[in-house]
Amino acid sequence: MKKFVLLAFFILCGIFAYGQIDFGFKLGYNSSVGLNNLNSITKGEYTLDSAKIDAKNNFMVGAFSRINFGKIYLQPELLYVGGKKNYSETVVASEGNTATYDKSVTMSVIDIPILVGYKLLDLKLANVRVFVGPKFRFDIGSKFKVDNFNSTGGQISKEDITKEIKKSQVGLESGLGVDILKLTIDARFNLIKDMYQTKLNEVTIDDFQANTIQISIGWKIF
């Protein structure tokens, strides 16, 4: 363990010694559409109402650093992501018995992307970048609840509906960015597993799609 810590320390020292470092703050907007419906889109069955149900609108705010090695750079970030989504669900049990309920999901997580980028266009006043890298997500207080439960046939009770929130996830992030002087703008796609699931007798009946399209704007303070 000590050898690993020392190795990581010397690697970081080398990075900071030979790389030009930028630091800044950023904020952004996330809107996710469930990828499970791609087949419905190709068949023309995906409607505006379907998109409204699947879309989860969140915000993010945090800080980033960028270590530049010419056209290549390393960009770790520390971001808070929050938001809320309300929608209704219908569960069908055996013999056609159903249950309907309202579901409210409140998202509160910390994201730590570690991105490797390449500057396609690198001018003095502006550049255009592409990037990719892993993203580590940690739950810090997300929650969801079920209200207005109504069952027909009596085969499903509210107690049969269980909820699960995963404490951590690992995903992948990629995108395109533009820098103009100290202003930085990114458009990203986040591929990550669902953190929130609703289950009926241990069978997943609904999940909260975590894949997001993210637009963010930042400012480099140095």
Place of tokens 């990037």: 131
- Per-residue pLDDT tens digits for 182-221: 999 999 988 887 777 777 666 666 665 566 788 999 999 9
| Whether residue 55 has pLDDT greater than 60 | no
pTM for the whole structure:
0.77
Q: What per-residue confidence (pLDDT) applies to 135?
A: 93
> What are the extents of the domains in the chain?
21-220
Q: What per-residue confidence (pLDDT) applies to 1?
A: 47
What stretch of H or E contains 3?
helix 2-18
CATH level 2 (architecture), domain 21-220:
Beta Barrel (2.40)
- Per-residue pLDDT tens digits for 150-169: 777 667 777 777 777 888 88
Percent of the chain scoring above 90 in pLDDT: 36
Q: What per-residue confidence (pLDDT) applies to 210?
A: 61
Non-local CB neighbours of 178 within 8 Å, separated by 6+ positions: 126, 127, 128, 129, 184, 185
CA distances to 61, 88, 170, 190 from 134, in Å? 18, 33, 7, 10
- Per-residue pLDDT tens digits for 72-110: 999 999 999 988 777 777 777 666 677 787 878 888 999
